[in-house]
Amino acid sequence: MSSLIKSTIKVDNLTIKQGDKTLWRNLSFCLQSGDRLGISAPSGFGKSTLGRVIAHWQKVSSGSILLDGNVISTKGYCPIQLVNQHPERSFNPYRTLQASLYDAWNPAPCWFDKLSIKSTWLARRPSELSGGELARIALLRALDPRTQFLIVDEATAQLDAYIQAKIWQILIDESVKRPLGMLIFSHNKTLLQKVCTNILYFDAARD
Ligand SMILES: Nc1ncnc2c1ncn2[C@@H]1O[C@H](COP(=O)(O)OP(=O)(O)OP(=O)(O)O)[C@@H](O)[C@H]1O
C-alpha cells in the first residue's frame, strides 16, 4: 500500500438533467486516490455528461461533488481532469500543441517515449494531427502532477490495440504510484474488467 496521502471525491445525491431529460438521479459514490472505478452504460445513457459534471466543465442540477470534504474551486488548476473521445475540443485550434501542453506542465522527455508521441507533432496545431495522435497529447497534458483524479471517457478508443495496451499500463502504473484516482467510462466491458479495481454497471432501461 502506498504511504502517500490519499484524497477522496465524494459524489453525493447527484441529479443531472440535460434539456428536459434526467440522465442521472440521486447518484452517490466515492472515489479514492489509487481507485480505478469503471462505469459501464449503454450509448446515450449519460456517461460523458457525468464526466463533464465531475470535472466541473458543466454544472450539477442538484447534489454535490466534494474533494476531501470541500467544494472544488473554479479558479486555478482543477485537480480533476477529463480526457474524452474528442481531444480536438480540448485544445485551442489556433495554438501549437507545444504551447497548450507547456501551459499546463513540462513533461520530462521520457514521457514522450512512453506515450509514443513524436516531438515533431508539438510544433503543429490540433487540426494537423490524427485523432489518435491528439488523444495521446491530451492524455499527457492531463497527467500534469497537479492532477489528483483523471476521468477517461473512451479516450483511447481511437488508438490501435498495441498503443492502447501500452497507455493503459502507464495509467495503471500512475494510479498506483502517485496514487491517482481514475474514473473510466467505456462500452468495452473487457477493457474495464482488465483495468479497473471496481465497476458500476448501468444496463437497465430507466425510462
Ligand atoms: N448539449 C446537449 N443538449 C441536449 N442534450 C444533450 C447534450 N449533450 C448530450 N445530450 C443528450 O444527453 C444524453 C446523454 O449523452 P452523453 O453523451 O452523456 O451519453 P453517453 O452515455 O456518453 O453516450 P455515448 O456512449 O454514445 O458517448 C443523450 O441522449 C444526448 O443526446
Return d(Cα 115, Cα 120) in angstroms, integer: 14
For residue 144, give the C-alpha cell. Answer: 500534469
Answer whether CATH 2.30.30.30 is correct for domain 33-51+70-201. no
Residue closest via CA to ligand 1's atom 24 equals 43
Question: Has this prediction a pTM greater than 0.80?
Answer: yes
Ligand 1 atom index nearest CA of 154: 27
Every domain of the chain and the residues it spans: 33-51+70-201
Give the bridge partners for 151, in sequence order: 82, 183
Task: Determine whether the shortest distance from the Cβ of 18 to ligand 1 is under 6 A.
Answer: yes
ipTM of the complex model: 0.95
> What residues are paired with 24 via a beta bridge?
16
pLDDT tens for 40-94 read 999 999 999 999 999 999 988 899 999 999 999 988 999 999 999 999 998 999 9
Q: What is the best residue among 15, 23, 27, 48 to mutate for testing ligand 1's pocket, by most ligand atoms within 8 Å of CB?
A: 48
